[in-house]
Amino acid sequence: MEHEQLIVFPRRGGSVFAPERAKAFGDLLQRRQDHIRKLQWSIVAVYLFLLVIPACLPETEVRAGVFDSLARFAEALFWGVWWPGVILSMLIFGQFWCGLLCPDGTLTEFASRHGRGRKVPGWLYKPALPLLLFSLITFYEHSIDAFHSASMSLLIIGGTSLASLCTGLIFGRGKRVWCRFVCPGAGIFSLLARCAVLHFKVDRVAWDAAPGPAPGGVDCPPLLDVRRLKSNEKCNMCGRCSGHRQAVALSWRWPGEELATLEPEEVRGWEAAGILFVLIGLLYAVAHWNGSAWHRQLLAALRHGIGDTAFWQAEAPRWLFSRASAHADLIDALAALASIVGMTFALGVLVGAGLLFAARGQKKLADALAYALIPLSGIGLALGAMEYSLSILADNGVSAWRVLPWLRLAGMSTGLIWSISIAQRLLRRWRGHSERQTFVLPLFTAVAGLLAAAYQFAPIPA
Ligand code: SF4
C-alpha cells in the first residue's frame, strides 16, 4: 500500500519526462483555455499582418526600404522558420500547433460558433481528401514559386484561411470541421503526429467507472470520440479533454509507439500510398527537382527536340509558372513540371516496389512497412524545409551551406534508426499474422538505407 502511494503522489523536481509532468501540462492546458484563446488571437493578428500587408503594397514599394524588409521577414518567417518548426514539432510532440496556435483553426472555430451550424455532410467524410488537397496545393505552389511572391503567398495561404473560415460559417456548432475533414496540412500532420512521444491517453476502465451522469461531454473541437481515442491521427492536442472523468491524461510514450503497434485492420492501403507518393515522392521532388541532373537532362532534351519554334520560346504565363518564366520560357516550365511529376512517381514506385519485395509480395505487410518509413521521410521533409531556410540566409549574405551535409547526416542517421526500430517491433508483433517473415527486416533496412542515401545526397536547389 505504501509502495502504491509513492507512485501515485507526484514527485518534486523529477525529470521533465516524468509522467506527472506530462499530465500536469495537459491539465494546465485544460484550465488555461482563456489564455490560450488570447494567444491564438494574437497569432491571428500577426499572421494576417504578415500575409496581407506585403501583398497589398505595390511591387515597387515592396522592393524598397522598410517594405522590402517586411516582405523578406514574412517570407523568412513563413517558409524558413514556421514550416520546418511545425514539421519537427508534429513529429516529436504531436499536433499542438493545430490545437493551440494555428490561425486557421482559431478562425474556423470562431466562425463555427457564430455560423449556420449545419451537420457535416456525408461527402466530407473522405479520409483521403486532406492528402489529395495537400498534393494539389503543394504541386501548384512549387510550380508558381509562391515562396518568393507576397501576392502568391496571399493567394494560397490566405485562400486556405478563407476556406477554413467559410467551412466554420457553414458547418458545426463551435467545432473545427475544417481541421478534422478538410485541412490540407492535416493530411501530412496526421501521419507525422503518430510518431510523437506525447499523446492524450484514455483509461477506458476509469472512464466507464467514473460516477454518472457524465459531467457534460468533452468539447472536442475536431469532433473525436474521446472515450475511444487511441491515436494521435486527428487529435489537435488542445488539452480540453485532460482530466475528463479522471480518465484522460497527457502521457509519454515510446517514439513511434503508435506505428510499431499497428494492427492489420488499422493499416489502410490509401494511406500507405499517401506515404509513398506524397510524404516521400512529392515532398522529395518539390524540394530537390531544381538543380537535379534529371531536370537538366530533361530540359536539354526538350530544347533539342522542340525548342526552336516560336511557340515554345514564348514566355510562360507568369500567373501560372512564375518560377519557370523567371528562368526563360514555356519549355522551362514544362521541364519543371515534368521533373516534379517524374521524381514523385519514380520515388513512390521504387520505394513501394522495394517494400513489396521485402514483404515477399504480402501487400498488407508492405503497407504496414510504409508506415515505418514515416520518421525517416518526416525528417527528410524537415531537412528539405531547413534547406530552404539556408537559401534564405544565403540570399541575405549569410552562407551556411557547409553545415548541410552534417545536418543531413545527423537527420538521416536518426531517421534510419527510428524507422528500422519501428519495423523491427512491428514485425515481432505481426509474427502471428504473417508466416513468411524471413529476411523482411534486412530487406526493409536496405530499402530504408537507400531512401536515406537519396536524402543525404539530394541535389541542392540551384
Ligand atoms: S481528443 Fe479532442 S479534446 Fe482531447 S486533446 Fe485531442 S482534440 Fe483536444
What would the pLDDT profile of 31-84 be if each residue is shown by its tens digit? 999 999 999 999 999 888 888 877 776 655 445 555 566 666 767 777 777 888
Instruction: Decide which of 192, 212, 238 is a domain's last residue.
Output: 192
CA of 12 to the centre of ligand 1 (A): 28
**Which whole number is the average pLDDT over 402-415?**
93
State the pairing for strand pair 248-252/198-202: antiparallel
Give the separation between CA 111 and CA 117, rounded to whole angstroms: 10
Domain assignment of residue 310, given as a range: 264-456
| Residue owning grid cell 500577426 | 46
Q: Is 462 helix (H, G, I), strand (E, B) or coil?
A: coil
Domain count, the chain: 2
In a domain, 232, yes or no: no
Q: Higher confidence at residue 4 or residue 455?
A: 455
CA of 243 to the centre of ligand 1 (A): 11
CA of 232 to the centre of ligand 1 (A): 9
Is there a contact between 271 and 231 (Cβ–Cβ < 8 Å)?
Answer: no
User: What pLDDT sits at residue 9?
Assistant: 41
Chain centroid to CA 21: 27
Give the separation between CA 342 and CA 321, rounded to whole angstroms: 18
Is there a contact between 228 and 203 (Cβ–Cβ < 8 Å)?
Answer: no
User: What pLDDT sits at residue 4?
Assistant: 40
CA of 186 to the centre of ligand 1 (A): 15
User: What pLDDT sits at residue 5?
Assistant: 41
Q: Is residue 187 located within the same domain as residue 302?
A: no
Q: Which residues pair with 251 in a beta bridge?
A: 199
Residue to mutate (ligand 1; options 40, 240, 248, 251; most atoms within 8 A of CB):
240
Is there a contact between 343 and 298 (Cβ–Cβ < 8 Å)?
Answer: no
Residue to mutate (ligand 1; options 220, 227, 242; most atoms within 8 A of CB):
220
In a domain, 205, yes or no: no
Q: Closest Cα to atom 6, ligand 1: which residue?
A: 235
CA of 191 to the centre of ligand 1 (A): 17
Question: pLDDT over 90 for what percent of the chain?
Answer: 58
Give the separation between CA 8 and CA 249, rounded to whole angstroms: 14
CA of 229 to the centre of ligand 1 (A): 9
CA of 237 to the centre of ligand 1 (A): 5
Closest atom of ligand 1 to CA, residue 236:
7
Residue to mutate (ligand 1; options 27, 95, 200, 234; most atoms within 8 A of CB):
200
Is there a contact between 222 and 175 (Cβ–Cβ < 8 Å)?
Answer: yes
Locate the DSSP E strands across 174-219: 198-202
Q: Is residue 451 located within the same domain as residue 336?
A: yes
User: What pLDDT sits at residue 29?
Assistant: 96
In a domain, 252, yes or no: no
Give the separation between CA 175 and CA 222, rounded to whole angstroms: 6
Locate the DSSP E strands across 236-321: 248-252
Instruction: Decide which of 167, 192, 217 is a domain's last residue.
Output: 192
User: What pLDDT sits at residue 70?
Assistant: 66
Instruction: Decide which of 159, 192, 225 is a domain's last residue.
Output: 192
Phi-psi category of residue 196: left, alpha or beta, with phi > 0 → left and psi -120 to 50 → alpha = beta
pLDDT at 104 over 90: yes
In a domain, 228, yes or no: no
In a domain, 2, yes or no: no
Give the separation between CA 188 and CA 134, rounded to whole angstroms: 8
* Reported confidence tier of residue 148, pLDDT bands at 50, 70, 90: low
Spell out which residues line ligand 1, taking CB within 6 angstroms: 99, 200, 218, 220-222, 224, 226, 229, 235-241
Chain centroid to CA 436: 33
In a domain, 420, yes or no: yes
User: What pLDDT sits at residue 432?
Assistant: 66
Side chain identity, residue 216: G
Give the separation between CA 36 and CA 219, rounded to whole angstroms: 15
Closest atom of ligand 1 to CA, residue 238:
8
| Residue owning grid cell 480540453 | 240
Give the separation between CA 350 and CA 180, rounded to whole angstroms: 31
In a domain, 211, yes or no: no
Q: Is residue 279 located within the same domain as residue 394?
A: yes
